[in-house]
Structure 1
């Protein structure tokens, strides 16, 4: 396998190795289209393999001539030529082997790079419904662990396998030409030698996988305790956790001992049976030489070819398990590539109006999430929103508020009913074109581990530096970003962990401002901010909402009071709509929520508690 000393790479490779190998190597055929892109490199690798094989096979023939011709003063010139040719053969072998290694390794790296890109690009097109039933960790594992294993096999093991296949065929052919009798004799003990290898080889592979699993258990137990070290120490469980880890370590050692024992038996059988077979053939060959039925040079030539063939066969048996593993890894990647996106553009997508007006209509929409088909997230939901209108959506937990956003962005399609944007049925529009009409500020804003400018430019990648800065100024984040060590080029940590909640929120607002979309989807999350941050974010939100159709999942009374209309949801339906004053006077669900969450039905003071999601 790989000799990579990188511990992260080794961990990834070990994870892949614990997966079951494929029953056959047919899945590897799916790599052929990736190989076909680099035909010239494939042919170069093939030519280098041929040259390396021919150079290797030339050595026993030269040895035979040297032994049969003998050493004497009369043929001194021949001996000089012989050694000069051996040096030339060594040079050709070195050059062709280096070329073979380079071309095959290059192809392996290039194919896996293309495969990773193809799989990742395909994953990005899959709808959220796919990730409801598939763990993100499993997808990333396939994208990293499985592709790493394929790279190891295609770029390294494949090179070894191809070289030894060529060498085995060439050596076996030359053995038959050199001495058909000895060649036939070699085949007689072959079943006796192969059978133990097959039986014990399977056992060794099974025990190796078990050993790897035990090692993984050790890491899991240790990681679990260390990640909860305060809890462990608070409950004085150091000794118990130490014993639990020790038990796991001892289990890993026991599994390793069984693997080592089986490997030792296999090694003993390999040496005894292999060398016994060689000794038997040598004895018979010596008898042939003594009887003048073949020359000593022919016997030496045959032995060398037999050594080449045996070495090649042994190398192939070692890489066969790797090839099976790679086939299994390819099979798992193919499963991802074969998943069809649930949401995709129709063959003849309807064009959205230019410029976008931001008119939205839900017409008797019913929807259930794929993982909860018996639970209606929306049921007979209808709502019309005029261009430029600000609508606040409120309701208890599970009312369907977030589902409205999910369907508008066409992450899902409803089971019945129609959703329209500017008069166009969303299911008849291209999802990418549709999503360009929306700007989203989520409740938990996402900040990527890239620069501040790149994070804001996520809203519109083609935006200029000046446009990025103007968006930041409008979002009241320019002063902070300018004060950073590298200004707008300062890179944030993963998920923006170095930023406060208010700073992340304002970066998300700047991103939405830069997008300049006709419809704003705002999952307002100011309830978790301190008073100063809330004030800054609210000012930025006011600028963002100006002149746009805005849907707000409302948590704060200030936002509710500013909305043109408040829509109250319960059980996936609209149960009331109107202004704050109208709904409070009307009583019912909104009045109860206002009383519970706002602290008073008339809503004079801004609350600190949020309406339940």
Structure 2
């Protein structure tokens, strides 16, 4: 996985529209906008004091000819004052820009995360997590750098170039014309050369990243590498990549050598040429030595700023691109979720579920109909099992019930009311899901159970853990409820994770329960404990059980057999087992003959 480098961020052309888009960022500044504008004022003052510096220096040098010590002292004091002012202005400029940027970007980050979390599942099924992460980290960092320093630097260099030219022309026009014909050309050539070299060093970075991928893959799959005794193969693969790195890096070094030679000849050559011509003019009496000195300082300003400004312009382009990408995400339409209602006033529903002629295909695969004309009803408190081959659409029923996706056709009713007439937080607040692959968050066991009801008391949490058959293993840990579960619950076994998920669901006290193959990946010991906990959990609730193992659903009130997106058989276990050549009967025979 090649790491993002800021060089990789795409640039955006700077046009009137892209600038208008980028200005949206000020919407998030709240009452911090003034800091940006005051910062700009200090930036202007910094540039003006910088331009005064060569002028005073020239006057100081001229005191040699005049043999005027008292003027020299005054000018030196003046220079000291200029430096103090410049340092004060610079401090406020930086302080204000950073203050403005951090406050504004904190608002942007929060708005972005808030919007992301509320986006519908359709959005997440089409986007990679890595890409979204990159938006929140890389893109915002790019905007951060630009607002803090790049814009200020860009404007400062721009003012310095223009100001220096004005000052140069006021000293001597002949010398200025000569300087203009050489210095900016050298500056621009240096930038172009530098960019070419950077492209090369980016190539080296990419190659190194690729060689890292080999290492990462090998380490992650080391058991496979060893099982196949393929160490030699991996070493050869790595050797090839390393050789490529060396080749590209040496070429880059050669280019850097050329660049150094070029800079020495051109830049110093230019300085020699300007000084030589200045000396000629000075001998002819057209210019004083002090003015020549001032002239050289202003020329060096022009040279340095010409070199830096192109780079800064590229950074600004990247930042505008980054801003556009961040605002694209902010423009995505979130689901209507009212966070506060979630905890306090969820109306309890009874839990009658009815699917009427429901058809559905995933937005990313429109051409494949996952469900076609599905009809079934589940009375409050009933257990409905859904079985069928992989990919038949079992889990899709759960996703539609939770309103992760919108149905294409037909309607889903809960308590005889269309699910689209419920508020999302009310609908989902009455449901709980225990998935096959339980994802826990990296906090403590207690926090993970309380996820079902964030304001639960300790007694409620302990009761839920007892009912979920989890209290014994929790008590066996030294930190008990405060045990950290690790990222995604990595420190717990499958059965333990499953029971925490059941406790989480119990605490939420839902009317409708979805069990998505909740015991399919457990050993028989854990399965027994989890199954008992599930029985407690299903008590008095409408349960939709998606199952691979048929042994877990014999007691269901109704079993739906889904095949190719339609319900091909439905009934109780004893009814379905007697169907001649039935899918359920075949599945059942297969499983029980093996077990």
Query: How high is the TM-score relative to the length of structure 2?
Result: 0.89
Per the TM alignment, residue 368 of structure 1 is displaced from its structure 2 partner at its CA by 1.3
What corresponds to 1:505 in structure 2? 498
Counting only pairs closer than 5 Å after superposition, residues 306-345 of structure 1 correspond to structure 2 as 306-340=299-333
The whole-number CA distance in structure 2 between the counterparts of 1:164 and 1:409 is 57
Counting only pairs closer than 5 Å after superposition, residues 176-575 of structure 1 correspond to structure 2 as 176-189=169-182, 192-193=185-186, 196-197=189-190, 199-340=192-333, 354-557=347-550, 559-575=552-568
The question of 1:584 aligning with 2:584 is answered no
> Is contact 2:352-2:380 (8 Å) kept?
yes
Residue 202 to residue 431, structure 1, CA distance change in 2 (3 Å): same
Per the TM alignment, residue 567 of structure 1 is displaced from its structure 2 partner at its CA by 2.0
What corresponds to 2:8 in structure 1? 18
Per the TM alignment, residue 403 of structure 1 is displaced from its structure 2 partner at its CA by 0.9
Residue 306 to residue 483, structure 1, CA distance change in 2 (3 Å): same
The one of 24, 27, 31 equivalent to 1:33 is 24
The question of 1:595 aligning with 2:589 is answered yes
Per the TM alignment, residue 265 of structure 1 is displaced from its structure 2 partner at its CA by 2.9
The whole-number CA distance in structure 2 between the counterparts of 1:509 and 1:561 is 20
Per the TM alignment, residue 217 of structure 1 is displaced from its structure 2 partner at its CA by 1.4
**Deviation string, structure 1 residues 223-269 (Cα, Å, up to 9, x no partner):** 22333333334444333432322221121122222333333333433
What corresponds to 1:68 in structure 2? 62
Which segment is superposed worse, 301-310 or 226-235?
226-235
Which segment is superposed worse, 22-31 or 377-386?
22-31
Q: Which runs of no fewer than 5 residues in structure 2 stay unpaired?
A: 339-344
What corresponds to 1:604 in structure 2? none
> Is contact 1:71-1:79 (8 Å) kept?
no
What corresponds to 1:602 in structure 2? none
> Is contact 1:119-1:336 (8 Å) kept?
yes
Which segment is superposed worse, 481-490 or 368-377?
481-490
Residue 353 to residue 448, structure 1, CA distance change in 2 (3 Å): closer
Per the TM alignment, residue 512 of structure 1 is displaced from its structure 2 partner at its CA by 0.9
The whole-number CA distance in structure 2 between the counterparts of 1:530 and 1:107 is 57
**Deviation string, structure 1 residues 316-361 (Cα, Å, up to 9, x no partner):** 23333333333443444344334445x6689xxxxx9943121212
> Is contact 1:399-1:570 (8 Å) kept?
yes
Per the TM alignment, residue 574 of structure 1 is displaced from its structure 2 partner at its CA by 1.9
Residue 529 to residue 474, structure 1, CA distance change in 2 (3 Å): same
What corresponds to 2:342 in structure 1? none
The whole-number CA distance in structure 2 between the counterparts of 1:267 and 1:24 is 32
> Is contact 2:187-2:304 (8 Å) kept?
no
The whole-number CA distance in structure 2 between the counterparts of 1:167 and 1:365 is 69
The question of 1:137 aligning with 2:127 is answered no
Residue 568 of structure 2: SS of its match in structure 1? strand
The one of 82, 107, 110 equivalent to 1:117 is 110
Residue 260 to residue 505, structure 1, CA distance change in 2 (3 Å): same
Q: Which runs of no fewer than 5 residues in structure 1 stay unpaired?
A: 1-7, 347-351, 600-606, 609-613
> Is contact 1:105-1:159 (8 Å) kept?
no
> Is contact 2:179-2:274 (8 Å) kept?
yes
What corresponds to 1:57 in structure 2? 51
Residue 568 of structure 1: SS of its match in structure 2? strand
Residue 133 to residue 182, structure 1, CA distance change in 2 (3 Å): same
The whole-number CA distance in structure 2 between the counterparts of 1:80 and 1:33 is 51
Q: Provide the aligned C-alpha RMSD in A.
A: 3.0
The whole-number CA distance in structure 2 between the counterparts of 1:185 and 1:276 is 13
Per the TM alignment, residue 307 of structure 1 is displaced from its structure 2 partner at its CA by 1.5
What corresponds to 1:148 in structure 2? 141
- Residue-pair matches, total: 584
Residue 364 of structure 1: SS of its match in structure 2? strand
Counting only pairs closer than 5 Å after superposition, residues 86-105 of structure 1 correspond to structure 2 as 86-105=79-98
Residue 457 to residue 594, structure 1, CA distance change in 2 (3 Å): same
> Is contact 2:187-2:306 (8 Å) kept?
no
Per the TM alignment, residue 498 of structure 1 is displaced from its structure 2 partner at its CA by 0.7
> Is contact 2:436-2:520 (8 Å) kept?
no
The whole-number CA distance in structure 2 between the counterparts of 1:207 and 1:28 is 31
> Is contact 2:188-2:307 (8 Å) kept?
no
> Is contact 1:27-1:330 (8 Å) kept?
no
Residue 554 of structure 2: SS of its match in structure 1? helix
Residue 432 to residue 205, structure 1, CA distance change in 2 (3 Å): farther
Per the TM alignment, residue 275 of structure 1 is displaced from its structure 2 partner at its CA by 3.1
Which segment is superposed worse, 491-500 or 39-48?
39-48
